């Protein structure tokens, strides 16, 4: 399926798949969004670089944290402390870095401008991207959970409901940030910015290594970052089965501010 057919909800004449010519009425909006989301999901999973970023590197980081003493002293096993941060890293990888890069190059090659003029529209296009992020994130959670359980992960059962909700909220915040970067700077700059921030936030942003293990100068700042808030909240959920309101408020603010800025300054061409 091409982007053109996904956006219009139609197929080429004579294809026999839907039995409508290109000139007929478009498919319902929900179907157009689902088709676009399916296309975006498949595209992300077929991209080798994004697959490494979304699956391979988080798994390697999880194994590394399990065998190294970086997470000792938190009152729980290494794997129990590591996994929430790795899940947060997955959300950032897909929603911020992956989606930001793909959107930036779609904008460069005129794909965004073309799709915004089809029946899919700008709202449908954004909704399709969000759907793709959630689909890939669900796959990441399944893979990471399976490997983590083999390594001995024992999450608090009460943490699953708030933990999954936090992942969705974190994905929303990082998607908004990714779209803001992709829609305001050149694609080459988007590539550099998103990859650099992935490294910095992953290492020093409180997402994998808890803020308590970072230099004192960074600790106060980290709690205000979406990475630090998501990492802290997920550790609270899966280690203690509860979530404090502070990190949730930080994520909500980042989602609202970045989403508003992206809506205001996003350039479609």
Q: Domain boundaries in the chain?
A: 3-8+27-265
Q: Is the pLDDT of residue 10 over 50?
A: no
pLDDT given for residue 19 in this prediction: 42
Q: Does the predicted TM-score (pTM) go above 0.75?
A: yes
Q: Is the pLDDT of residue 18 over 50?
A: no
For the chain, the average pLDDT equals 88
pLDDT digits (tens, 9 = 90+) for 155-179: 999 999 999 999 999 999 999 999 9
Helices 160-182 and 78-92: angle between axes, nearest 10 degrees: 40
pLDDT given for residue 110 in this prediction: 87
Decide: 33 and 41 in contact? Cβ < 8 Å: no
pLDDT given for residue 182 in this prediction: 94
pLDDT given for residue 166 in this prediction: 97
| Residue from 179, 190, 168, 189 nearest 122 by CA | 179
Q: What is the mean predicted confidence (pLDDT) over 198-204?
A: 93
| Residue from 245, 204, 202 nearest 88 by CA | 202
Q: Which residue has the higher pLDDT, 263 or 88?
A: 88
| Residue from 11, 163, 143 nearest 85 by CA | 163
Decide: 269 and 107 in contact? Cβ < 8 Å: yes
Tokens for 265, please give them: 């300054």
pLDDT given for residue 29 in this prediction: 81
């Amino acid at each position: 399926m091409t982007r053109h057919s996904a956006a219009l909800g139609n197929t080429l004449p004579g294809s026999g798949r839907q039995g409508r010519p290109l000139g007929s009425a478009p498919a319902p909006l929900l179907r157009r969004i689902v088709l676009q989301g399916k296309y975006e999901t498949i595209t992300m999973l077929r991209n080798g670089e994004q697959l490494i970023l979304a699956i391979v590197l988080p798994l390697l980081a999880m194994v590394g944290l399990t065998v190294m003493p970086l997470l000792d002293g938190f009152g729980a096993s290494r794997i129990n402390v590591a996994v929430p941060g790795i899940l947060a890293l997955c959300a950032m990888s897909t929603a911020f870095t992956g989606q930001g890069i793909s959107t930036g190059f779609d904008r460069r090659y005129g794909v965004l401008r073309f799709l915004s003029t089809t029946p899919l529209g700008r709202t449908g296009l954004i909704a399709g991207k969000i759907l793709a992020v959630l689909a890939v994130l669900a796959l990441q959670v399944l893979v990471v959970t399976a490997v983590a359980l083999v390594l001995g992960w024992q999450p608090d059962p009460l943490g699953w409901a708030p933990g999954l909700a936090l992942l969705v909220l974190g994905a929303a915040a990082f998607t908004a940030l990714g779209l803001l970067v992709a829609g305001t700077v050149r694609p080459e700059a988007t590539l550099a910015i998103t990859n650099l921030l992935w490294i910095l936030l992953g290492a020093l942003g409180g997402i994998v290594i808890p803020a308590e293990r970072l230099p004192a100068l960074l600790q106060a700042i980290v709690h205000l970052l979406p990475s630090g808030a998501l990492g802290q909240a997920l550790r609270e959920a899966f280690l203690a089965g509860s979530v404090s309101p502070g990190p949730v408020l930080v994520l909500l603010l980042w989602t609202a501010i970045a989403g508003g800025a992206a809506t205001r300054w996003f350039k479609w061409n």
